[in-house]
């Protein structure tokens, strides 16, 4: 991509440019924001570093690229962390500046910045980029600052301190010193006082005088003045005010008048552009949502299907269309109908899209993902979700084969606004960016719902080479990077791993997937122990889903759900074996009717109950009242189950789920989501399957003395090519995934 780099003159923005080049991008312009008054060194701003701005004028000559500059006219008016367009705010000066760069150089598609740890700055750069239809590149984001500082020095960034404001840093001693000279002392201060060695906490600022990007010349500072802003005895604050500098040529022909001293009365240089003007109109990004969607096509009630769990505080709504012989509206038409219907359901509860925590987007054809996303963003936007857009996973499912439409949506909803989202749109080395209206993760009521993670290389956003196991390794690393942002780890806090496996994975590779996942988790646990910590370790459960395709033609996508306690405590985990105490028999089943291996659970007493129930052909044959065809014992599903056999299986699922949640002091009223995965080759009509489970829950209500499990269906029937507790064997007849939580 062709990149315009935001530069403050500091080491970070320069090294960010070097990383852009490393990953194959081209720096075609630099952009800088400076005070309105040349004599002013520093503004009262959380957004911009301006100390040493008098020297930035030389960057155009040093690098051989045009420099666009704008004098800051705004001030800090929008104080919230997540930025929204605010007239008169200093962020609007950046918008005007980059908008002009884009007009002058239309080929530019990305913006580079040196953000390392400041969400405040990153989110504002991302907001401006989103409005301009540009990609944000932040290759230093979330990198280890000690390693980062060493990398900068090793890669020959020669930067001096131009501001100090931290305990242990003295303006008289440390201003004007090179970072290579100060590095050991900065690490000493980190050990003593916990400072950020890269200065991310405002401890110091730098000015780059030379680096490999400066191919034409280096900057030589001839004279400067130390200006003391605060003489505080503990942490004095001082800045370096440049007085004279000159350029020393790196070419055979000298620059800037044969290295003559520049007394800051700079000449007009054709490659330097002063950007004037005010922000009179909003620049609309490509693909930004248009007018509200009101053109809902009428759909017959018998074709539209809804399910909703009964929990008051956190619940799921699912919607799909029954396929008909009538004319198709296509994927976009189906998706529009479904999203609008869910929107109406939310409105009926007095809620909106801002209350949605997570969205499962199932489509019939991954080749139409772009079209599906175009419809999706007409409903779910950042404007509608001021507290953060929901996290999301997108999967191709055999919807049409199962007699459904071309789209299927499930949303997890909370009736409060206490969610906390992680939504990083910048491309970095940290984890895959979210280029779109979804978040990497959403934390709500101690549960962290992570977006589906692919095996992407974060800085390039391309799938890693090496097949399914390499993709899984990368996806797990990306998941761990996200988990760290919430002070947890997938190795110690995971409740459930859902692993979506593409049919493109060779059969001989599938057994390796679980082994690799298990090995990765164990290695992470050991690394925590090596650091002297005793992690609160949960024993997660696993569910493998076989699907036709995944985004970017990935082979593997993982979706972890984690427990993140609000207070430090040790989660008491229940045994994974069922208790020998059996509730009064339901539907006539006895303990001998099932093997222990058919159920997994992870229970945090009084908080979370997660269950995966796997009905294999062996279990089905054991519990079915009728004799089943012998082919089923060989996992051959080509023969249809009889309705009576399927009825028996449905009752067994309900019985065992009911038994598990009751034994762990939960109830059906605590259910947040219940998914029933089934393969279309069961040859059991969807409507029949739905009715069997619905009738089973009604019978359970009657057995429980009329205690309502749910008037409407509380379960979602999800057609998949296969499911199971092992990637090597995804031949379950039915797989149940239940999540319950206490308010």
β-bridge mates for residue 393, sequence order: 360
Give the integer Cα–Cα distance in Å for 319 and 613: 23
Q: Residue 706 has what pLDDT? A: 54
Give the integer Cα–Cα distance in Å for 633 and 692: 23
> Which domains are assigned to the chain?
2-251+270-274 (3.40.50.620), 301-418 (3.30.1330.40), 420-566 (3.30.1330.40), 588-625+641-742 (3.30.1330)
Q: Residue 297 has what pLDDT? A: 46
Q: What is the chain's percent helix, strand, coil content, to nearest 5?
A: 30, 25, 45
Q: Residue 490 has what pLDDT? A: 93
Whether 91 contacts 124, CB under 8 Å: yes
Q: Are strands 556-563 and 716-719 parallel, antiparallel or unpaired?
A: unpaired
Give the integer Cα–Cα distance in Å for 565 and 713: 31
Could you tell me how far CA 424 lies from the centroid of its own chain? 7
Q: Residue 255 has what pLDDT? A: 43
φ, ψ of residue 481 in degrees (nearest 5): -60, -40
pLDDT tens digits along 567-593: 644 444 433 333 334 454 467 776 666
pLDDT tens digits along 674-713: 999 999 888 888 889 999 999 999 988 888 765 556 557 8
Listed as ranges, residues in the chain with pLDDT below 70 are 252-270, 279-302, 323-328, 528-536, 567-586, 590-595, 625-640, 705-711
Residue with tokens 């399957």, as numbered in its chain: 689
Give the integer Cα–Cα distance in Å for 336 and 269: 54
Lookup: tokens for 374: 């175009």
Q: Residue 596 has what pLDDT? A: 73
Length of the chain: 743
């Amino acid at each position: 991509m062709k990149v315009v780099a935001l530069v403050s003159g500091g080491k970070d923005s320069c090294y960010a440019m070097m990383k852009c080049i490393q990953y194959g991008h081209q720096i075609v312009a630099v952009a800088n924001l400076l005070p309105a008054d040349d004599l002013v060194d520093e503004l009262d701003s959380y957004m911009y570093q301006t100390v040493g701005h008098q020297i930035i004028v030389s960057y155009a000559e040093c690098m051989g690229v045009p420099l666009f500059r704008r004098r800051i006219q705004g001030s800090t008016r929008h104080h919230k962390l997540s930025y929204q367009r605010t007239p008169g705010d200093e962020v609007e000066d950046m918008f005007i500046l980059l908008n002009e760069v884009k007009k002058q150089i239309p080929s530019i598609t990305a913006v580079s910045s040196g953000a390392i740890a400041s969400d405040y700055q990153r989110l504002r750069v991302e907001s401006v980029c989103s409005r301009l239809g540009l990609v944000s590149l932040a290759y230093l984001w979330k990198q280890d600052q000690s390693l980062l500082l060493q990398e900068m020095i090793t890669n020959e960034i020669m930067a001096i301190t131009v501001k100090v404001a931290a305990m242990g840093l003295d303006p008289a001693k440390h201003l004007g010193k090179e970072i290579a000279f100060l590095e050991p002392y900065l690490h000493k201060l980190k050990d003593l006082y916990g400072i950020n060695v890269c200065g991310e906490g405002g401890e110091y600022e730098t000015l780059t005088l030379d680096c490999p990007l400066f191919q034409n010349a280096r900057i030589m500072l001839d004279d400067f003045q130390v200006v003391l802003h605060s003489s505080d005895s503990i942490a004095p604050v001082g800045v370096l005010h440049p007085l004279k500098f000159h350029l020393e040529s790196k070419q055979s022909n000298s620059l800037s008048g044969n290295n003559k001293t520049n007394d800051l009365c700079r000449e007009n240089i054709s490659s330097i552009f002063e950007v004037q003007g005010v922000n009179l109109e909003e620049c609309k990004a490509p693909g930004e949502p248009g007018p509200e969607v009101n053109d809902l096509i009428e759909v017959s009630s018998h074709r539209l299907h809804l399910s909703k769990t009964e929990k008051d505080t956190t619940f799921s709504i699912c919607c799909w269309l029954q396929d008909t012989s009538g004319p198709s509206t296509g994927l976009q038409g189906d998706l529009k109908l479904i999203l609008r219907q869910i929107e109406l359901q939310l409105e009926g509860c007095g809620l909106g899209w801002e209350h949605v925590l997570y969205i499962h987007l199932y489509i019939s054809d991954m080749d139409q993902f772009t079209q599906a996303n175009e419809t999706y963003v007409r409903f779910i936007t950042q404007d509608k979700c001021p507290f953060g857009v929901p996290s999301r996973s997108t999967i191709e499912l055999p919807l049409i084969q199962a007699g459904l439409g071309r789209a299927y949506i499930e949303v997890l909803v909370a009736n409060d606004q206490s969610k906390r989202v992680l939504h990083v749109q910048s491309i970095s080395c940290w984890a895959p960016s979210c280029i779109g209206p979804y978040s990497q993760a959403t934390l709500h009521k101690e549960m962290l719902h992570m977006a589906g993670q692919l095996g992407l290389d974060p800085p390039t956003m391309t799938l890693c080479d090496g097949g399914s196991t390499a993709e899984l390794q990368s996806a797990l690393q990306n998941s761990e990077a996200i988990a760290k942002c919430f002070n947890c780890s997938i190795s110690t806090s995971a409740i459930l791993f859902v692993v979506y496996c593409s049919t493109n994975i060779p059969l001989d590779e599938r057994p390796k997937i679980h082994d690799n996942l298990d090995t990765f988790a164990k290695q992470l646990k050991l690394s925590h122990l090596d650091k002297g910590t005793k992690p609160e370790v949960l024993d997660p459960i696993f569910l493998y889903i076989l699907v036709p395709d995944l985004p970017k033609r990935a082979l593997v996508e993982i979706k972890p759900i984690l427990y993140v306690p609000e207070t430090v405590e040790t989660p008491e985990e229940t045994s994974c074996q069922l208790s020998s105490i059996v509730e009064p028999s339901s539907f006539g089943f006895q303990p001998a009717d099932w093997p222990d291996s058919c159920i997994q659970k992870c229970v945090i007493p009084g908080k979370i109950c997660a269950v995966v129930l796997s009905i294999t052909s062996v279990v089905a044959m054991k519990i079915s009242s009728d004799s089943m065809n012998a082919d089923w014992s060989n996992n051959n599903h080509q023969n249809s189950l009889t309705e009576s056999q399927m009825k028996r299986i449905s009752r067994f699922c309900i019985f065992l789920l009911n038994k598990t949640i009751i034994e762990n002091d939960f109830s059906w009223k605590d259910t947040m989501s219940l998914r029933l995965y089934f393969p279309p080759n069961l040859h059991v009509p969807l409507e029949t399957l739905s009715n069997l489970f619905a009738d089973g829950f009604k019978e359970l209500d009657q057995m429980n003395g009329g205690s309502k499990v749910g008037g409407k269906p509380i379960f979602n029937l999800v057609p998949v090519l296969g499911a199971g507790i092992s990637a090597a064997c995804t031949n379950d007849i039915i797989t149940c995934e239940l999540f319950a939580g206490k308010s």
